[in-house]
Amino acid sequence: MKRVIIFLFILLILGGLLKSCIRKDVPYTFPERIEQHELKEINYPPDEKNVTINGVDYLQSQAPVGKFGGEIIISTIGEGPKTFNPCNTKDATSSSMAGLMYDGLVTTNPRTGVVMPLLAKSFEIDGNDYIIHLRQGVKWTDNMPITADDVMYTYEEIVFKGYGNPSTMDAMKVDGKLPQLVKIDDYTVKFTTPKPFAPFLRQLSYPIVPKHYFKQYSDMGESVFNAFLTPNTPPEEIVSSGAFKLKEYVAAQRVVFVKNPNYYKINLNDEKLPYLNKVVYMIVGDTNNEILKFEAKEIDLLSLRGSDVARYKIREPKSDYIVYNIGPDTGTMFIVINLNNRKDKNGKPYVDPIKHSWFANRDFRAAIDWAIDRKSMVQNIASGVAEPLFTAESLNSIYLNKYIKGHPCDLNVAAKTLAKAGFLYEDGILRDMYGNRVEFDLYTNAGNLEREALGVMVKQDLENLGMKVNFKPLEFNSLVNKLTNTHDWDMAIMGLTGSPLEPHDGKNVWTSQGSLHMFNQRPQNYKIDDRLNWEKELDEIFKEGALKLSFEERKPLYDRYQTIIYNQKPIIYLYSPTRIIAIRKKFKNIFPTSLSGLIYNLDEIYIE
């Protein structure tokens, strides 16, 4: 999917690729690296190294040696995590917390974007075969060894069966077929893809889970497995592998993680990381409350809204924090329009047929696009710390279609486009050719003040055309349920995270059977092939794009998918914020990158 989820940024170079782990003739090539100017003076440490001590294959940090102890307090907006099951996360909060507890076979180099070993000690690529060598001597939090059996179980019993969040299963298919997986020995496995498949290696970042703990639940079926590891699970029962393990969850207040004594990463003195004793997530209701808690020194990190940037920069020299400009957000903010024309099991249409006749009209969608005043959104909501967005790829994506320039707001063009489609404007009211007033609901997730403000502006922009817009902020889980399960919605303001390195991560959004194909979501097991012509083309693009191995071959395909979305407008993009973050000066080993953000290396961060 773009999965719901986690902050990444811009760009990369191939040069740091682990030559010992990958054949030289594998054509993974990318354009030249681009750095944000604010980050050029950061003294980044060398890449981590493998070190074997007493039979244990550790990953050794090359960052400066720090002090042990202390905690970092981070905020999270909303109601807290929905699950601690790393295989079933569908929201950013749950994903980030699961990421503390469970590691994958590989990870992404935070500066170059190159795939690097994590739970894997090394990997080799030979044609369609991916041979993964696991670290030996590494243990779960319950002291059981992490072996190839855990890898086999994770992929064969969870990923390949589509348990939890099926996005990874969808993304791994080539011509409808999943990779083959065999166990070579207790610490070696081999994946074989049906064809050469460019995105595959990066997909091995999926969290590996302990077979001896998870299998008892997956054996009971998908529904039981998906309900496993709720926030009410006693922390001491959870078996994990990451730098931190769950200690405490207090509903609507906080989530506390403590260091994992079995973690396999060490510092230059061969001492076990992480340095911090605790990572605390404070659950806050909204962004205003978050700011109050940062200023009261109750939290240590704050993502700044555009309206607050100037004030914090002015105060920075005499403050206890430092402000970093990390560049454009990799996520996208948009309006999604429901094009679903199907019926539920009782024969009732998911979308009112009258509304569907409007939404299905490309000119109606284009009029909405022309009416949106992105410039005012950037100035009034983001205080200028953002740029208008017109593409499905974020502004820092290496696959961004730079030929899509967008346009300013123009109500005259919008009105002419509606008239062309048969809509009639009279006495401030827009009606369709049958006399029906154009009225619909617009949703977003309550508590996200930025999206609520966007909703107010979109409502006003569209009412300038005579439309009646009922703006309805809704609790996040209820909104997701509408978009992906019940399908009874009209339009929504949403956001998705994504990777600036790999468009295939968006397969579950753009392909017709994708689990996040929100604008025309097929109910589960829906068999009828009723794809729109441009949906069919998107399916073919994402199928073909994954099979091309070089950037030069893939770029025109992904340019084309962005052109289709821009022309058809099932999703209308709004703007791309700039990520500006304040963090307490007491924290050291902070190495921000435009690709990975600010605190991606929590296991290396310490307090001076």
* Burial class of residue 592 in the structure, from the number of CB atoms within 10 Å of its CB (0-12 exposed, 13-18 middle, 19+ buried): buried
For the record, the structure tokens of 577 come out as 């914020």
Summarised one tens digit per residue, pLDDT across range 49-59 is 999 999 999 99
Summarised one tens digit per residue, pLDDT across range 236-265 is 999 999 999 999 999 999 999 999 999 999
Model confidence band, residue 449 (pLDDT cutoffs 50, 70, 90): confident
Partners of residue 129 on adjacent β-strands = 126, 192
Residue 448 has pLDDT above 60, yes or no: yes
Model confidence band, residue 76 (pLDDT cutoffs 50, 70, 90): very high
- Rounded CA-CA distance 578/426 in Å is 41
Q: Please, which residues have CB within 8 angstroms of residue 326's CB and are 6 or more apart in sequence?
A: 9, 36, 38, 39, 578, 579, 580, 581, 592, 593, 594, 597, 598
pLDDT at position 5, please?
31
Residue 210 has pLDDT above 90, yes or no: yes
The amino acid occupying position 202 is R
Lowest mean pLDDT among 129-138, 370-379, 497-506: 497-506
Lowest mean pLDDT among 37-51, 95-109, 359-373, 485-499: 37-51
Residue 73 has pLDDT above 90, yes or no: yes
- Rounded CA-CA distance 49/238 in Å is 29
- Rounded CA-CA distance 112/107 in Å is 12
- Show the domains of the chain with their CATH numbers: 37-320+585-607 (3.40.190.10), 332-577 (3.10.105.10)
pLDDT at position 38, please?
56
For the record, the structure tokens of 361 come out as 């009209």
**Residue 160 φ/ψ region, left for φ over 0, alpha for ψ in the -120 to 50 degree band, beta for the rest:** alpha
Crossing angle of helices 362-371 and 449-463, in 10° steps, is: 110
Lowest mean pLDDT among 4-8, 200-204, 484-488, 550-554: 4-8
Residue 540 has pLDDT above 60, yes or no: yes
Model confidence band, residue 6 (pLDDT cutoffs 50, 70, 90): very low
pLDDT at position 574, please?
97
Dump strand ranges (E) for 34-110.
49-53, 56-60, 71-77, 106-108
Residue 2 vs residue 604, higher pLDDT: 604
The amino acid occupying position 473 is P
- Rounded CA-CA distance 186/181 in Å is 14
Is pTM, for the whole model, over 0.85? no
Label residues 22-41 b or e (16+ Cβ within 10 Å = b): beeeeebebeebeebeebee
- Rounded CA-CA distance 10/250 in Å is 36
The amino acid occupying position 134 is L
Query: In whole angstroms, what separates CA 18 from the centre of its chain?
Result: 26
- Rounded CA-CA distance 1/179 in Å is 19
pLDDT at position 529, please?
67
Residue 25 has pLDDT above 70, yes or no: no
Crossing angle of helices 533-547 and 551-568, in 10° steps, is: 160
The sign of the CA dihedral 244, 249, 255, 256 is negative
pLDDT at position 526, please?
60
Crossing angle of helices 362-371 and 411-420, in 10° steps, is: 170
**Can you tell me the mean pLDDT for 528-551?**
88
Instruction: State percent of the chain over pLDDT 70.
Output: 92
Summarised one tens digit per residue, pLDDT across range 576-589 is 988 999 999 999 99
Task: Decide if 29 contacts 536 (C-beta within 8 A).
Answer: no
pLDDT at position 475, please?
87
CA angle (37 as vertex; 8, 65 as ends), nearest 5:
70
- Element at 588 (helix H, strand E): strand 587-588
pLDDT at position 421, please?
96
pLDDT at position 528, please?
55
Lowest mean pLDDT among 168-177, 187-196, 253-262, 456-465: 168-177
- Rounded CA-CA distance 208/86 in Å is 9
**Can you tell me the mean pLDDT for 122-142?**
96
